[in-house]
Amino acid sequence: MSRVKQRGLRGLVRLALIAVLIMATAWLQACGANNSSNENAKDSANAGASASTETAAAADKNSKVPAVLNYGYIGSNDKNLPGGAEGWGFYKGIIQEELKKYGIEEVKLTGFPNGPDQTESLISGRLDFGGLGDTPAIIAVASGAKTRLINQTNITNVGYLISGPNGPKTVEELKGKTIAIQKGSYMHRYVVGLLKQAGVTDYKLVHMLAPDGQAALARGDVDAMTNSGFNAEKQLAQGYTLIDDSTKHPELHGTSVTVVSESYLEKFPDFPKVWNEARQKAIEDLKQHEDEYYQFIADLNKTTVELAKKISPISFITEEPFPAEGITRITGTKDFLVEEGLAKKDYKIEDWEVK
């Protein structure tokens, strides 16, 4: 074979080898890209599955929460709303907006004339939770009510002891007299504690709701009555006599609490945290709209803004679920009720709390 032909043959072989190498490299790159694409696809699929799982878990968790929440409060007014931060939160829609995040579409509000009536509805299951005075709440749980304490909303509930325009003017003058009380209320605890401190033991207590007590006092059927807040101030403005009020005896102040049924907690274990956070947002909002808030309280109670500021100052609203001073006061109330036989058994307030 000639040298020229040999050179040509070697050139063809070299070109063929180069072509093979190029094709092999392209094939390897394609495989790598395909594997990378598959891995990316797997990662995306895994991420999507994880997100779907988390979403499904959250949806499943919320699906166990009843769509309707039943809340009880003390009082009666045209707006069907409680006062305080809770009432403001409902009035402005702040609380409803927060609760909807957890699947609660509606909150039904029911007013009650006193705490014992409300606790009966809570025990029977007509309510899921409610705000009321500490005394009826303590008495109820001491009698076996399956409730848990989720906060103290106010630790400065003031009780008044009032007589007619020409009635007794001192606690000592109530010896042998008849006093109308709201049995099982914080005012009941206040007046019994007050009489005990004064050494007065000869007296008669009769259970009457505030409107009935006011009518009985006007007729002279009772010598004095306990009352609270705006109702008491209206009586005093009409010339009735203030015998005493608990501002002179802070240890006899009542506190307001929020309690939830254990059966509802089984459906929504995170409810105490959710509720307290929603309430805190309402507090933050009312502090930014103080004038509007006091007008709201005045309208609820058909009174003046000046009296609203006196009876329901924003400073009375507690922000912490369980302030130290509040726990001291409610513990004192519980101890008193146990000692007087009004609460059937003793227990630790801390064991009642949901932390």
One DSSP character per residue, 136-154 reads HHHHHHHTT--EEEEEEEE
Do residue 164 and residue 239 come from a single domain? yes
- Asked whether residue 75 is domain-assigned, the answer is yes
Which class for 274: exposed (0-12), middle (13-18), buried (19 or more C-beta within 10 A)? middle
Task: Compute the C-alpha angle 340/342/345, nearest 5°.
Answer: 95
The confidence score (pLDDT) of residue 34 equals 44
Whether residue 286 contacts residue 293, with contact meaning beta carbons closer than 8 Å, is answered with yes
- Asked whether residue 212 is domain-assigned, the answer is yes
Do residue 333 and residue 186 come from a single domain? no
- Asked whether residue 32 is domain-assigned, the answer is no
Do residue 280 and residue 152 come from a single domain? yes
pLDDT above 50 for 196: yes
Classify residue 260 by its DSSP letter. Answer: E
Sheet containing 129-133: which strands, arranged edge to edge?
106-112, 68-74, 129-133, 254-261, 147-157
pLDDT, mean of residues 298-320: 96
User: 């006193």: which residue's tokens?
Assistant: 114
Select from 208, 235, 252 the last residue of a domain: 252
Per-residue pLDDT band for 185 (boundaries 50, 70, 90) equals confident
Residues 64-81 have pLDDT tens digits of 899 999 999 999 888 999
The confidence score (pLDDT) of residue 355 equals 80
Residue 80, token pair as written in the block: 């069907």
Q: In the chain, what percentage of residues exceed pLDDT 90?
A: 75
Per-residue pLDDT band for 63 (boundaries 50, 70, 90) equals low
The confidence score (pLDDT) of residue 26 equals 42
- Asked whether residue 323 is domain-assigned, the answer is yes
Higher pLDDT, 5 or 323: 323
pLDDT above 60 for 345: yes
Integer Cα distance of 148 and 337 in angstroms: 18
Query: Rounded to 5 degrees, what are φ and ψ at 207?
Result: -80, 125
The confidence score (pLDDT) of residue 258 equals 98
Instruction: Show the domain range for 204.
Output: 159-252
Q: Which of 54-63, 146-155, 330-339 has the lowest mean pLDDT?
A: 54-63
Per-residue pLDDT band for 42 (boundaries 50, 70, 90) equals very low
pLDDT above 80 for 56: no
Select from 233, 252, 271 the last residue of a domain: 252
Q: In the chain, what percentage of residues exceed pLDDT 70?
A: 82
- Asked whether residue 94 is domain-assigned, the answer is yes
Per-residue pLDDT band for 266 (boundaries 50, 70, 90) equals very high
Which amino acid is present at 283?
I
Domains in the chain, number: 2
Integer Cα distance of 94 and 285 in angstroms: 9
Residue 72, token pair as written in the block: 């009880």
Mean pLDDT of the chain: 86
Count of positions (residues) in the chain: 355
Do residue 164 and residue 227 come from a single domain? yes
Per-residue pLDDT band for 21 (boundaries 50, 70, 90) equals very low
Do residue 341 and residue 304 come from a single domain? yes
The confidence score (pLDDT) of residue 60 equals 52
pLDDT above 90 for 46: no
- Asked whether residue 19 is domain-assigned, the answer is no
Do residue 261 and residue 330 come from a single domain? yes
pTM (2 d.p.): 0.79
- Asked whether residue 125 is domain-assigned, the answer is yes
Strand, coil or helix: 330: helix
Select from 252, 286, 311 the last residue of a domain: 252
Do residue 179 and residue 168 come from a single domain? yes
Do residue 292 and residue 324 come from a single domain? yes
- CATH number of the domain residue 310 falls in: 3.40.190.10
Sheet containing 178-181: which strands, arranged edge to edge?
204-207, 178-181, 224-228, 159-163, 241-245
Per-residue pLDDT band for 31 (boundaries 50, 70, 90) equals very low
User: 């240890």: which residue's tokens?
Assistant: 251
Integer Cα distance of 196 and 198 in angstroms: 5
- Asked whether residue 325 is domain-assigned, the answer is yes
The confidence score (pLDDT) of residue 114 equals 87
pLDDT above 80 for 47: no
Per-residue pLDDT band for 184 (boundaries 50, 70, 90) equals confident
Query: Rounded to 5 degrees, what are φ and ψ at 160?
Result: -120, 145
Strand, coil or helix: 175: coil
pLDDT, mean of residues 183-205: 93
Do residue 336 and residue 260 come from a single domain? yes
pLDDT above 70 for 159: yes
pLDDT above 60 for 160: yes
The confidence score (pLDDT) of residue 61 equals 52
Which amino acid is present at 190?
Y
Do residue 224 and residue 114 come from a single domain? no
Integer Cα distance of 327 and 151 in angstroms: 10
Do residue 258 and residue 229 come from a single domain? no
Do residue 259 and residue 204 come from a single domain? no
Classify residue 158 by its DSSP letter. Answer: P
